[in-house]
Amino acid sequence: MEKLSDIALLKELQKRLKKNDELSAEVFHLKNEIMEVNQKLEDSEIFKSHFISNVTNELVNPVASLLALTRFLYQSDVEDSEKIKKFSRLIFQEAFDIDFQLRNVFFAAKFESGKFTVENTTFSLSELYKGVITDFDHQLKTKNIDVKIEIKKEKLHDNISTDAEKFRVIITNILSNSIRYSNNNDKIIIKNIIFSDTLQISIRDFGVGISPELTDKVFERFYRINNSINSENKGSGLGLSVSKQIIEVLGGDIKFIDHENGVEVFFSIQLNTINNEIENFSANGNEFFFDDDMEVF
């Protein structure tokens, strides 16, 4: 009888030890969840803090310039058409800078809140590039930078299917950096290869370059190569981190390749299948096709 009691006691102890282990595991799991929540809260607070300190300055100055330029136009009797064009270009540039910064802020906020969605559309890759380059016309002319676009494809037209708005944000951010760190009288080469399910892009500049140890750090949120207040290279430090997040959501990846002069940004995204493709399609009738099927404009 005593032996049975010992066995029963042993089983009870084993049962309680097992229960204790289960409770310990549950407590450990809950502790990790609490730590993750705390980390997210801390990251959110850091995000808000950086947003206020970094982005506010990037928005205040363009808005002040817009107010000054528009005030000058409506308060003065300007009849010189060239002067009006000059001020119009400046107003557009300031408005473009504001829109550029706000788009990155909004995308970063959507990622932060988990409300990021993808909306696929079909569009002409070359037409999108022309629109982006037109937006940067002022900066390109100021530094006398030539942008060359090359598109290699398996079909006659360059229609692709992905999220056009988000893809444009990627190109705008990377091209903006390439222009910012390029020297005067320089060039930027953008190469594209369109496959049936993938788009590969490299954006190569020949500017000041980047240290190899920074090629990963530049994708950190709010990171800027030169964070000093008086730096000529302005920016919120959100562009590349937002671009990286978008690219990953679109099923691709991105990396910086350091060259002896300048850098090359290489990235790829997954494309959606386009139904009912039209042979010999031309977006605007002005494409030029070569023997190697590379379109340059």
Question: DSSP of 244-284, one letter per residue?
Answer: HHHHHHTT-EEEEEE-SSSEEEEEEEE-PPPSSPPTT--SS
178 versus 280: the higher-pLDDT residue is 178
Task: Specify the pLDDT at position 35.
Answer: 83
- pLDDT for residue 127 is more than 80: yes
Q: Helical H runs in 56-194?
A: 56-75, 81-113, 125-135, 137-143, 164-180
Mean pLDDT of 266-283: 67
Task: Specify the pLDDT at position 284.
Answer: 35
Q: Which of 99, 117, 135 is at the close of a domain?
A: 117
Nearest residue to 122 (alpha-carbon basis) of 230, 194, 187: 194
Is the same domain home to 81 and 157? no
SS3 221: coil
Q: Which of 117, 140, 166 is at the close of a domain?
A: 117
The C-alpha atoms of residue 267 and residue 70 are separated, in whole angstroms, by 40
Is the same domain home to 113 and 207? no
Task: Specify the pLDDT at position 50.
Answer: 62
Nearest residue to 239 (alpha-carbon basis) of 148, 163, 177: 177
Is the same domain home to 191 and 73? no
Is the same domain home to 17 and 68? yes
- pLDDT for residue 51 is more than 70: no
The C-alpha atoms of residue 190 and residue 203 are separated, in whole angstroms, by 4
CA of residue 208 relative to chain centroid, distance: 21
Contact of 271 with 198, CB cutoff 8 Å? yes
Please list the helix, strand and coil fractions of the chain in percent, rounded to the nearest 5, in that order: 55, 15, 30
**pTM summary value:** 0.67
Is the same domain home to 287 and 183? yes
Is the same domain home to 111 and 204? no
Contact of 266 with 255, CB cutoff 8 Å? yes
Is the same domain home to 113 and 130? no
Q: 289 — phi, psi (to 5°)?
A: -115, 135
Domain range spanning residue 88? 1-117
The C-alpha atoms of residue 38 and residue 125 are separated, in whole angstroms, by 43
Is the same domain home to 208 and 283? yes
Q: What b-and-e string marks burial along 218-250, b requiring 16 or more CB atoms within 10 Å of the CB?
A: bbebbebbeeeeeeeeebbbbbbbbbbbbbeeb
The C-alpha atoms of residue 258 and residue 2 are separated, in whole angstroms, by 79
CATH number for the domain harbouring residue 26: 1.10.287.130
Res. 233 pLDDT band, cuts 50 70 90: very low
Task: Specify the pLDDT at position 237.
Answer: 65
Is the same domain home to 142 and 224? yes
CATH number for the domain harbouring residue 136: 3.30.565.10
Q: Which of 117, 146, 170 is at the close of a domain?
A: 117
Is the same domain home to 129 and 261? yes
Is the same domain home to 158 and 277? yes
- pLDDT for residue 279 is more than 60: no
How many CA atoms are closer than 13 Å to the CA of 10, on its beta-carbon side?
Answer: 6
